[in-house]
C-alpha cells in the first residue's frame, strides 16, 4: 500500500524516467505496480482512492451509488414457511388434526398480517450537541452510557449517522421537513422562509402524524416559531437552561424531560388499543449554557460521577493540530474562542468534560427508565424507538469547541434504533451506511403507514434492515454537507460545504477564495492530514469531486431526493 512519501517518490521517478525514454517509464510503471499495487481492487487504501478517480474519471456510476447486497430475509416469512410445513405434515398423519393445524396456521398468518399493517407507536428521543464520540457503544470507554449501549444490543447502531447542517435550529428544521437547509431555508432569521406557511408546514413530520390519527406528545426543546400546540395533542416546551423552576421547585431540565415522558406514557397516551401515539422527548443536554461560567451544569446527585478520574484528551486535541487548521482559523475564530473558555487550561478541561459526561449519563438513565416503562406496559413489540442527536460537538479536537464545521466530530451523531420489525438475527448489529437527519421523518412516517410527501428529500432507512437483497434499492454512499450563506449567520462562522464519502472528504470554504481541503478518511479517519496539495489529488481526484459536489449542491437546493 503506497503511503504519502511513496507516492511523492514515485512521481519524482516518473519525471526522471521521462529523461531516459519510454523504456524507463515502462520499467518504472511495472516496478511500481508490482511492488505497491496501486492498480488494486482494494477499496480500503490510498491506492484504491487514487485508482478509482484515475481510471473512472467520467464514470460516476462506478464510484457512486454502490449497491448494498445483504440478505435480510424476514424472520416472519421463515416462521410462516415452517408453520405451513408443519401443518402439511399433520394433514398427512391425521385428517382432523390436520384441519385444526391449517386453521391455526391461517389464523396466525392473519394475525401477523394484521400486526404488520398496524401503524407503530413512535418514541423519539432527541439529545442536543452530542457527537458520536460521546457514546460507549461507539468506542468511548470513559463515558458511561449503559442503557444506550443496551439499546444498541437490542436494536441496530448506525455508525455513520450524519447531519446535513450542524447547528441546532437548522438541523431540527431538516428533521421536521426531511429537507436540506438550502431547500427549507430555515437559517437564523425568518426571512424568505416558506416552511412556516400552513400548506408547507402541514407536509412536515408532526402535522402529518396528527392529521393521520396519531396522539402526539412533545416535551423539551422545540426551537421552531410555529406554536407546538398547533401540532401536538400535548406539549410542554422548555430549554436553554439546565435548571428550571416548575411548581415552585428548581429542577434539572433532564429530570423534567424524564418526568414529562413518564407522565405521558402512564397517564396521557391513548389506551383504547386503536389510537397510535408518537412521543418526542427533546433533551437539552448536553448543550452548553453560554454566558454562564460553568457552561455545563449536571444534577447535584451526579457530581460524584467521574470525580476522581482523569478525562483523556482526544488524539487531535493538540496545539500542533490547531496550527494545521486553515489560515483563517485564528484567535478570533468563533470555535476557537469558545475553546478558550471551555477547554484550556487543563483543570478547566477536566471540569467541563466531566460535567458534559455527567449530563450524558443522566440522559442515558432517563432513556433507560423510558424504555423500561414501555416494556412494563408491554408496548415494546408495537413501538419504534429512536435515539439520536441534532448535531455533533467538538471537545477540543482540532483546537475547537462547538459544531458548525464539516469535520467528523461535528457532523457525525449517534443513531440507535429499536424496531419490532427488525429480524431477530440482525439485532445488535452495526450498520455503516450513511444515514442522514433528513431520513428521520420519512422513516417514522413509513412506520406510521403514512405516505412520504414528495417534498421530502430523505429516505426511509428501515429498508436497510427490512428489505431483502433482491428488493433493496441502492443506498447512498456519499452525501453533501452544507453550512448556509453566512449573510444570515449571526455567529460569523465561515460558510463551508463538503462532499463526504467513506474513503474521503472534500471541504470548500467559499468565503476564503474557495479554500479547499481533502482528507483520506480510510487512512486518516480523524482528519489529521490535509492532502489537498498532493499531485495525484490535484490531477485526478479533485476534478471529479468538485464536479460531483456541484451536482449534489444543486440537487439539495432544488429539492431533489438525496
| pLDDT 10s digits, 235-293 | 898 988 899 999 999 999 999 999 999 999 999 999 998 999 999 999 999 998 877 77
Residue 368 clears pLDDT 70, i.e. is over it:
yes
pLDDT for 25 equals 34
- Identify the DSSP state of 382: G
Return the percentage of the chain with pLDDT > 90, whole number. 60
pLDDT for 551 equals 98
Give yes or no: residues 489 and 378 share one domain: no
368 domain-assigned: yes
Give the residue-averaged pLDDT of 378-396: 96
Least confident of 83-92, 317-326, 408-417, 511-520: 83-92
Q: Which of 404, 511, 501 is nearest to 170 (CA)?
A: 404
pLDDT for 47 equals 41
CATH number of the domain to which 507 belongs:
3.30.1120
511 domain-assigned: yes
Residue 31 clears pLDDT 70, i.e. is over it:
no
288-316 confidence digits (pLDDT tens): 887 777 889 999 999 999 999 999 999 99
Q: Please, are residues 125 and 283 in contact by the beta-carbon 8 Å criterion?
A: yes
Give yes or no: residues 166 and 291 share one domain: yes
Residue 104 clears pLDDT 60, i.e. is over it:
no
Q: Which of 293, 297, 289, 236 is nearest to 261 (CA)?
A: 236
Return the percentage of the chain with pLDDT > 70, whole number. 73
Q: How confident is the model at residue 86 (pLDDT cuts 50, 70, 90)?
A: very low
Q: Please, are residues 436 and 456 in contact by the beta-carbon 8 Å criterion?
A: no
**Domain extent for 100:** 75-113
497 domain-assigned: yes
Q: Please, are residues 391 and 323 in contact by the beta-carbon 8 Å criterion?
A: no
What is the C-alpha to C-alpha distance for residues 364 and 50, in angstroms, rounded to an integer? Answer: 42
pLDDT for 5 equals 45
Q: Which has the higher per-residue pLDDT, 115 or 201?
A: 201
Residue 45 clears pLDDT 50, i.e. is over it:
no
Residue 137 clears pLDDT 60, i.e. is over it:
yes
Q: Which of 395, 428, 460 is the last residue of a domain?
A: 460
What is the C-alpha to C-alpha distance for residues 127 and 285, in angstroms, rounded to an integer? Answer: 6
Helix H or strand E encompassing 252: strand 249-252
538 domain-assigned: yes
Give yes or no: residues 260 and 392 share one domain: yes
Residue 454 clears pLDDT 70, i.e. is over it:
yes
Give yes or no: residues 383 and 487 share one domain: no
69 domain-assigned: no
Give the residue-averaged pLDDT of 387-396: 94
311 domain-assigned: no
Residue 388 clears pLDDT 50, i.e. is over it:
yes
pLDDT for 265 equals 98
The three grid cell numbers given for residue 376, joined into one nine-digit string: 412494563
pLDDT for 335 equals 86
307 domain-assigned: no
pLDDT for 467 equals 84
What is the C-alpha to C-alpha distance for residues 55 and 59, in angstroms, rounded to an integer? Answer: 9
Give the residue-averaged pLDDT of 353-368: 97
The three grid cell numbers given for residue 186, joined into one nine-digit string: 430555515
Residue 91 clears pLDDT 50, i.e. is over it:
no
On whether the pTM is more than 0.85, the answer is no
Least confident of 203-212, 234-243, 359-368, 447-456: 234-243
pLDDT for 491 equals 61
Give the residue-averaged pLDDT of 359-382: 98
Residue 94 clears pLDDT 70, i.e. is over it:
no
Q: DSSP readout, 397-408?
A: GGG-EES-SSSH
pLDDT for 22 equals 39
Give yes or no: residues 137 and 212 share one domain: yes
The three grid cell numbers given for residue 326, joined into one nine-digit string: 486553515
Give yes or no: residues 200 and 86 share one domain: no
Q: Which has the higher per-residue pLDDT, 559 or 55?
A: 559
Give yes or no: residues 415 and 268 share one domain: yes
Q: Which has the higher per-residue pLDDT, 62 or 520?
A: 520
Give the residue-averaged pLDDT of 490-511: 90
Q: Which has the higher per-residue pLDDT, 509 or 484?
A: 509
Q: Which of 54, 37, 53, 28 is nearest to 3 (CA)?
A: 37
Please give the mean pLDDT across all residues of the chain. 80
Give the residue-averaged pLDDT of 443-472: 90
Q: DSSP readout, 473-488?
A: PPPPSEEEEE---GGG
26 domain-assigned: yes
Residue whose entry in the numeric block shows the C-alpha cell 462562522 = 493
Give yes or no: residues 181 and 257 share one domain: yes
Give yes or no: residues 196 and 329 share one domain: yes
CATH number of the domain to which 323 belongs:
3.40.720.10
Give yes or no: residues 148 and 193 share one domain: yes
Count Cβ atoms within 10 A of the Cβ of residue 76 and give its class: 0-12 exposed, 13-18 middle, 19 or more buried: middle
pLDDT for 99 equals 46
Give yes or no: residues 48 and 95 share one domain: no
Least confident of 55-59, 121-125, 176-180, 442-446: 55-59
pLDDT for 539 equals 96
Q: How confident is the model at residue 486 (pLDDT cuts 50, 70, 90)?
A: low
Q: Please, are residues 519 and 501 in contact by the beta-carbon 8 Å criterion?
A: no
C-alpha distances out from residue 387 to 187, 426, 466, 481, 491, Å: 25, 18, 19, 22, 28
Q: Which of 431, 460, 489 is the last residue of a domain?
A: 460
pLDDT for 232 equals 80
Give yes or no: residues 102 and 140 share one domain: no
pLDDT for 128 equals 94
pLDDT for 333 equals 81
518-543 confidence digits (pLDDT tens): 999 999 999 999 999 999 999 999 99
Q: Please, are residues 161 and 433 in contact by the beta-carbon 8 Å criterion?
A: no
pLDDT for 340 equals 87
pLDDT for 191 equals 54
Query: By three-state DSSP, how is residue 39 classified?
Result: coil
Total number of domains in the chain: 4
Query: By three-state DSSP, how is residue 17 classified?
Result: helix
pLDDT for 71 equals 26
pLDDT for 235 equals 86
pLDDT for 248 equals 93
Angle between helices 95-117 and 75-93 (to 10 degrees): 160
Amino acid at each position: 500500500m503506497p503511503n504519502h512519501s511513496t507516492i511523492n517518490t514515485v512521481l519524482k521517478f516518473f519525471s526522471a524516467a521521462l529523461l531516459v525514454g519510454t523504456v524507463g517509464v515502462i520499467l518504472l510503471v511495472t516496478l511500481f505496480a508490482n511492488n505497491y499495487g496501486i492498480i488494486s481492487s482494494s477499496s480500503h487504501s490510498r491506492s484504491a482512492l487514487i485508482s478509482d478517480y484515475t481510471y473512472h474519471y467520467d464514470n460516476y456510476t462506478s464510484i457512486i451509488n454502490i449497491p448494498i447486497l445483504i440478505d435480510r430475509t424476514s424472520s416472519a416469512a421463515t416462521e410462516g414457511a415452517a408453520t405451513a410445513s408443519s401443518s402439511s405434515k399433520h394433514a398427512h398423519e391425521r385428517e382432523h388434526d390436520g384441519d385444526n393445524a391449517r386453521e391455526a396456521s391461517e389464523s396466525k398468518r392473519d394475525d401477523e398480517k394484521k400486526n404488520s399493517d398496524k401503524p407503530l407507536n413512535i418514541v423519539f428521543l432527541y439529545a442536543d450537541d452530542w457527537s458520536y464520540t460521546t457514546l460507549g457503544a461507539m468506542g468511548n470507554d470513559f463515558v458511561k452510557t449503559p442503557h444506550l449501549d443496551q439499546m444498541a444490543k437490542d436494536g441496530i447502531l448506525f455508525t455513520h449517522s450524519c447531519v446535513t447542517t450542524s447547528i441546532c435550529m437548522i438541523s431540527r428544521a431538516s428533521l421536521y421537513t426531511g429537507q436540506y437547509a438550502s431547500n427549507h431555508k430555515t437559517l437564523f432569521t425568518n426571512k424568505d422562509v416558506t416552511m412556516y406557511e400552513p400548506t408547507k408546514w402541514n407536509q412536515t413530520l408532526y402535522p402529518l402524524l396528527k392529521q393521520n390519527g396519531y396522539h402526539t406528545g412533545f416535551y423539551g426543546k422545540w426551537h421552531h416559531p410555529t406554536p407546538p400546540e398547533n401540532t401536538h395533542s400535548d406539549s410542554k416546551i422548555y430549554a436553554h437552561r439546565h435548571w428550571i423552576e416548575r411548581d415552585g421547585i428548581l429542577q434539572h431540565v433532564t429530570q423534567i424531560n424524564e418526568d414529562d415522558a413518564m407522565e405521558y406514557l402512564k397517564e396521557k397516551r391513548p389506551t383504547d388499543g386503536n389510537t397510535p401515539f408518537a412521543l418526542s422527548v427533546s433533551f437539552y443536554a448536553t448543550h452548553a449554557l453560554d454566558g454562564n461560567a460553568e457552561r455545563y451544569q449536571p444534577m447535584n446527585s451526579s457530581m460524584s460521577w467521574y470525580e476522581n478520574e482523569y478525562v483523556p484528551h482526544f488524539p487531535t486535541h493538540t496545539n500542533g493540530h490547531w496550527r494545521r487548521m486553515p489560515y483563517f482559523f485564528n484567535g478570533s475564530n468563533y470555535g476557537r474562542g469558545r475553546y478558550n473558555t471551555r477547554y484550556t487550561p487543563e483543570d478547566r478541561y477536566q471540569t467541563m468534560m466531566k460535567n458534559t459526561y455527567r449530563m450524558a449519563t443522566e440522559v442515558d438513565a432517563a432513556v433507560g427508565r423510558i424504555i423500561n416503562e414501555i416494556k412494563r406496559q408491554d408496548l415494546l413489540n408495537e413501538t419504534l424507538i429512536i435515539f439520536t442527536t441534532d448535531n455533533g460537538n467538538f471537545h477540543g479536537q482540532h483546537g475547537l469547541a462547538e459544531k458548525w464545521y464539516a469535520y467528523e466530530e461535528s457532523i457525525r451523531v449517534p443513531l440507535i434504533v429499536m424496531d419490532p420489525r427488525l429480524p431477530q438475527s440482525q439485532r445488535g448489529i452495526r450498520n455503516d451506511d450513511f444515514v442522514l437527519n433528513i431520513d428521520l421523518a420519512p422513516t417514522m412516517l413509513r412506520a406510521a403507514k403514512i405516505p412520504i410527501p414528495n417534498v421530502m428529500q430523505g429516505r426511509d432507512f428501515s429498508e436497510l434492515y427490512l428489505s431483502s437483497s433482491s428488493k433493496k434499492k441502492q443506498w447512498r454512499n456519499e452525501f453533501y454537507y452544507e453550512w448556509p450563506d453566512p449573510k444570515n449567520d449571526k455567529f460569523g462562522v465561515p460558510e463551508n460545504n463538503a462532499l463526504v464519502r467513506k474513503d474521503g472528504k472534500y471541504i470548500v470554504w467559499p468565503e476564503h477564495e474557495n479554500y479547499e481541503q481533502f482528507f483520506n478518511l480510510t487512512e486518516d479517519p480523524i482528519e489529521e492530514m490535509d492532502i489537498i496539495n498532493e499531485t495525484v489529488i490535484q490531477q485526478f481526484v479533485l476534478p471529479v469531486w468538485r464536479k460531483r459536489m456541484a451536482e449534489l449542491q444543486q440537487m439539495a437546493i432544488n429539492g431533489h431526493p438525496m
